[in-house]
Amino acid sequence: MGRPIAIIIEVVVLMGVIYSLFLGVKLTALDFGVEEKYKKFICSVFMVIGCIALAFFIAHLVAFYPRLSI
């Protein structure tokens, strides 16, 4: 019963870290002069990469997360 909850918490934490990383990269790119017209493209690319990372994390946590014994 605890394994699915642990996996969900782990995915939320990992996606929070990935979101912070992507936001930092986006803000840095905009600060260094990437034009505002590319903002939508950058957001779209990070959305796709984020979805791929989410699928990767879920697949690996489901496959390799240890069984909890009570």
| pTM for this prediction | 0.76
Q: pLDDT, tens digit, for every residue of 12-22?
A: 999 999 999 99
Tell me what pLDDT residue 7 has. Answer: 87
pLDDT of residue 70 exceeding 80, the answer is no
Q: Which residue ranges make up each domain of the chain?
A: 2-63
Q: pLDDT, tens digit, for every residue of 23-61?
A: 998 888 888 877 778 888 888 998 999 999 999 999 998
CA 45, CA 27: separation in Å to the nearest integer? 14
Per residue in 16-44, is it b (16+ CB within 10 Å) or e — as a string?
eebeeebeeebeeeeeeeeeeeeeeeeee
